[in-house]
Structure 1
Amino acid sequence: MNNTHTATAEPQLTRSTLWLMTIGSGMVVANIYYNQPLLVEIARTYGVPEARAGSVAMLTQVGYAIGLLFIIPLGDMLRRRRLILLDFVLIIFSLLGAAFSPNIYVLMVASLLIGATSVVPQLFLPMAAHLARPEARGKAVGTVMSGLLIGILCSRTLSGFVGAHLGWRAMFLIAAGMMLVLWVVLYFLLPEVRPQFKGNYRSLMQSLLHLFRTEPKLRLAAARGALSFACFGGFWTTLVFLLEGPPFHAGPDVAGAFGLIGAGGAVMASVMGRLSDRFDTRYILMGTISMLFLAYLIFGFFSYSLVGLVAGVILLDVGLQSSHIANQTLVFSLNPQAHNRLNTVYMFIYFMGGAAGTYIASQAWRIWRWDGVVAVGLVFSSLALAVHLLYSGRRSQATAENPEAAS
């Protein structure tokens, strides 16, 4: 009786299902980034320093990491569609809480909850990898990631425009309405995927530690991802502060418009998925992580030039998103029965790195302004490249000498 569901044929990953998950990922992940171009307006509303307002962005990323740790593993244990639809209810209430926050502290709590509940894309990604044919897994992951990245880019542009014309609270109300519409669409169109994990929630969570201890490639991918995302989070959180001052004197709409400049990162996501299916990701990652370091060099030398900022943003987005795709394709290749848990470990560490970068860069801005932010980015990107060169080389050598030991 307990195994009857295993005999049921899994749904096929059709083009329409893939597009549904792709669009849904972009719409949901946008919730995490709406606040970044609005931080100056939030600081003015509550009369708090910019660094305190920066905590709103940091707590959203911390909340996302928490949601990854405690919600995403349930994708291996519960019916995926049912879990996603329930989570959407929590997303909507969290967004409404942010819209009606009476003070900065309530907004911080609401932001933490927005991050914790907006983890649906990390249920879609393993779902796409699970339903895709093995030879097309990287392409499926890259396609969903393209939608996710477009959502990140458009979120900043949309929130910057709405914040400049309707106020920052309106953005969260609009987001809640979009989530309600998406819930209805998913209710009717999203297929169900039955769980494969046999055990209780405690054993499920314990298995996360087991995977972390026994999968060295997972640990390496997570470390690379966390350090890279720290560079990304630090830049986007403090960019609005830089643009507010001389010589730019720009509002949230201009800061948000910078999101569209990084569209190359979204385009590269699909390309990188295909490349990861065919080539050794070690060399791909060496180049993409180097882009992060180069981006911060440009930010340092051309910080008061719009052309310099644009060039740096393109390198930063393409470098980060390409690295992320390569890391995730590697992670999803490790254990087909534990895709959600593998993704949980990777993404939890990834977003904790982003939260650390956001917090440290905000404090660096408070003390040293933009020079401090650039220094933080150079340190994190250097560490990411050092970890990759040191440990990926060791793993490849171990694989060549003893393939069984390295598996």
Structure 2
Amino acid sequence: MPQNQGGQPHRYDGSGLPRATTWVFAVAAGLSVANIYYAQPLLDLMAQDFGIAPASIGWVVTLTQIGYALGLIVILPLGDLIDRRRLVVAQMLMSAGALGLVSTAKTSAVLFIGMAATGVLAVVVQVLVAFAATLARPGERGKTVGTVTSGVVIGILGARFIAGLIADLGGWRAVYLTSAGATLVMAGLLLRTLPRRLLPERQDGYGAALRSIPSLFLRDRVILRRGLLALLIFAAFSTFWTALVLPLSQEPFSYSHMQIGLFGLVGMAGALAASGAGRLADRGLGQRTTGLSLALLTASWGLIAWLPHSVLLFLAGVILLDLAVQAVHVTNQSIILARHPKAGSRLIGGYMVFYSIGSALGAIATTILYAQAGWVGVCGLGAVFSSLALFTWGIERSAIGQSPTLGPQNGHPI
């Protein structure tokens, strides 16, 4: 980067983010977020290994999401205060250590601690999203967020297949050991690739940045409603993917973990198609994209409920679910980053707290409900979450139409 007369690099000049670097962001984000989702198809193996009751094993996922929410509050505001390159690399190195702890855990207590630490450090994903959005040209911010989020989608859905494949070959511990090694390699690549000494806007300090997060959401009702949408859509998302291993590993299917992981690849097709939602948000179509996507999400549960009677209808529902969730997720991030660009890390952090709460709620509720009401109960729960999200969007659309104070900021339509 060019330097000024004092020998310090100039601030980033807004010339844009090279496509190759964007994809490095995407790969790193995908690898990092996968660490949160490896456990979902492995819950039965972990339960057997540690003697945890099936109705309680969902706490493995829930604690990871709680750790993730804590990391969003404690770590992510640093992205608006210090060198993001150093922050990203440090988190990747510590993530490798947490993954190593999980892979060698001898007791359930150590397992839970390791999973919570993995969740805390996985917030590097959101540092990368905010970092990429900062580097992008304003008119391409949604497109860039969509590309990086595509990597996140691949990580979320591909994690199940990779975890199942490695677990079938070497057990569930090998999954986390392999990820620890891959994370170390990625830390080295990011150290060489990320822009050097790109400092954020000067802030009043960590305490002030931390305290500003709730006020950002309380002052801007559009951002608050986008957070509520994140909570509900990821509660639905987690409801489905946490419970999926339970019916597929039993009669009449008795699938292996690798076979169950293949369903993640099916969902990936729909989710990747949602990457274009960022471009639509750049064009001012965020509201319409959100409404259509939430309608599809609600309808998807009618198809998903056909399991085990029709696998084809079930697969169609999986594609619709992942398409809808990721389209709303990309649109949400594009909208909130456009409204307050200088607070990108804090906005993403606050937004993803809603995401983590929803994911944790879905994970623990669906394992309990499956034991009581089976797959039909799971589908009913997912449909309720989805319908509530659609209702929330309707309230937002009505409020925007009635109040000019909720209109565009910084020249970006909502």
TM-score category, normalised to shorter length? over 0.9
Deviation per CA, 1:355-405: give whole Å up to 9, x if none.
11111111111222212211211111111011111222212321399889x
Task: Choose which of 140, 146, 149 in structure 2 pairs with 1:136.
Answer: 140
Residues 275 and 327 in structure 2, CA contact (< 8 A), matched pair in contact too: no
Matched to 1:88, the amino acid is M
Cα gap change, 1:80 to 1:249, in 2 (>3 Å):
same
2:190 corresponds to: 186
Alignment of 1:283-362 (within 5 A): 283-362=288-367
Asked if residue 54 in structure 1 is aligned to residue 58 in structure 2, the reply is: yes
8 Å contact from structure 2 (residues 236, 386) kept in 1: yes
Partners of 1:376 and 1:6 lie apart in 2 by: 52
Q: Distance in 2 between matches of 1:298 and 1:99?
A: 37
2:67 paired residue among 44, 63, 70: 63
Partner of 1:376: 381
Report the aligned-residue RMSD.
Answer: 2.1
For the residues of structure 2 that align with 1:398 and 1:157, how far apart are their CA atoms? 46
Measure, in 1, the Cα distance between the counterparts of 2:381 and 2:236: 8
SS at match of 2:328: helix
Q: Give the counterpart letter for 1:92 in structure 2.
A: A
- In the alignment, what sits opposite 1:154? 158
Cα 1:243–1:402 change in 2 (3 A) is closer
Measured in 1, the distance between the counterparts of 2:86 and 2:238 equals: 32
SS at match of 1:262: helix
Moved more, 367-376 or 296-305: 296-305
Task: State the distance in 2 between where 1:6 and 1:385 align.
Answer: 46
Cα distance between partner residues in 2 of 1:198 and 1:400: 26
Q: Paired residue for 2:130? A: 126
Instruction: Check the 8 A contact 1:331/1:342 in 2, yes or no.
Output: yes
One-letter amino acid of the structure 1 residue matched with residue 66 of structure 2: V
Do the aligned residues in 2 keep the contact of 1:60 with 1:113 (CA within 8 Å)? yes
Which residue does the alignment assign to 1:39?
43
Shift of 1:303: 4.0
CA contact (8 A) 2:37 2:160 kept: yes
Q: State how far apart, in whole Å, the 2-side matches of 1:388 and 1:24 are.
A: 31
Structure 1: distance between partners of 2:405 and 2:340: 21
Contact 2:158 2:268 in 1 (8 A): no
* Fraction of identical pairs, as percent: 36
Question: Deviation per CA, 1:125-152, whole angstroms, max 9, x where unpaired?
Answer: 1111111111111111111111111111
Q: Is the 8 A contact 2:248 2:255 kept in 1?
A: yes
Corresponding residue for residue 386 of structure 1 = 391
TM-score (norm 1): 0.94
Answer whether contact 1:220 1:392 (CA < 8 A) is retained.
Answer: no
Counterpart residue identity of residue 91, structure 1:
S
Alignment size in residue pairs = 405
**What per-residue deviation string (whole Å, max 9, x for no partner) do you get for residues 214-255 of structure 1?**
111110100011101100001101100111112111121121
Cα displacement (A) at 1:104 = 2.1
Residue 90 of structure 2 corresponds to residue 90 of structure 1 = no
8 Å CA contact 2:29–2:152 kept in 1: the answer is yes
Q: Secondary structure at the match of 2:99?
A: helix
Residue identity opposite 1:103 in structure 2: T
Q: Distance in 2 between matches of 1:86 and 1:401?
A: 38
**Are positions 1:395 and 2:405 aligned together?**
no
For 1:52, what is the secondary structure of its paired residue?
Answer: coil
Find the counterpart in structure 2 of residue 211 from structure 1: 216
The whole-number CA distance in structure 1 between the counterparts of 2:408 and 2:21 is: 37
Kept in 2: contact 1:143–1:269 (CA 8 A): no
User: So what's the TM-score if we normalise by structure 2?
Assistant: 0.93
In structure 2, what is the Cα distance between the partners aligned to 1:108 and 1:203?
32
- The offset of 1:61, in angstroms, is 1.5
Selected match of 1:112 from 100, 111, 116: 116
Name the aligned partner's letter for residue 265 of structure 2: L
Aligned mates of 2:20, 2:171 — CA distance in 1:
36
Q: 1:79 touches 1:195 (CA, 8 Å); kept in 2?
A: yes
Q: Are the equivalent residues in 2 in contact too, given 1:32–1:60 (CA < 8 A)?
A: yes
Distance in structure 1 (CA, Å) of the matches to 2:302 and 2:251: 21
Report the secondary structure of 2:57's partner residue: helix
Whole-angstrom CA distance in 1 between matches of 2:247 and 2:200: 47
1:24 and 2:28 are equivalent in the alignment = yes
Unaligned runs of 5+ in 1: none
Secondary structure of the 1:53 match is coil
CA distance in 2, matches of 1:240, 1:306: 15
Task: Output aligned runs, 1:63-82, within 5 Å.
Answer: 63-82=67-86
Of 34-43 and 4-13, the range deviating more from structure 2: 4-13
Distance 1:214 1:101 in 2: 44
Superposition pairs of residues 221-300 of structure 1, within 5 angstroms: 221-300=226-305
Cα separation, 2, equivalents of 1:292 and 1:266: 12
Distance 1:159 1:25 in 2: 17
Amino acid at match of 1:244: S
The partner residue of 2:206 within 193, 201, 217 is 201
- Partner amino acid for 2:34? A
Is 2:173 the partner of 1:174?
Answer: no
Q: 1:220 corresponds to which residue?
A: 225
Q: 2:306–2:314: 8 Å Cα contact kept in structure 1?
A: no
CA contact (8 A) 2:100 2:176 kept: yes
d(CA) in 1 for partners of 2:359 and 2:8? 39
- Which letter maps to 2:144? A
Mapped contact 1:27–1:151 kept (Cα < 8 A): yes
Question: Cα–Cα, structure 1 residues 52 and 126, in superposed 2: closer, same or farther, change >3 Å?
Answer: same
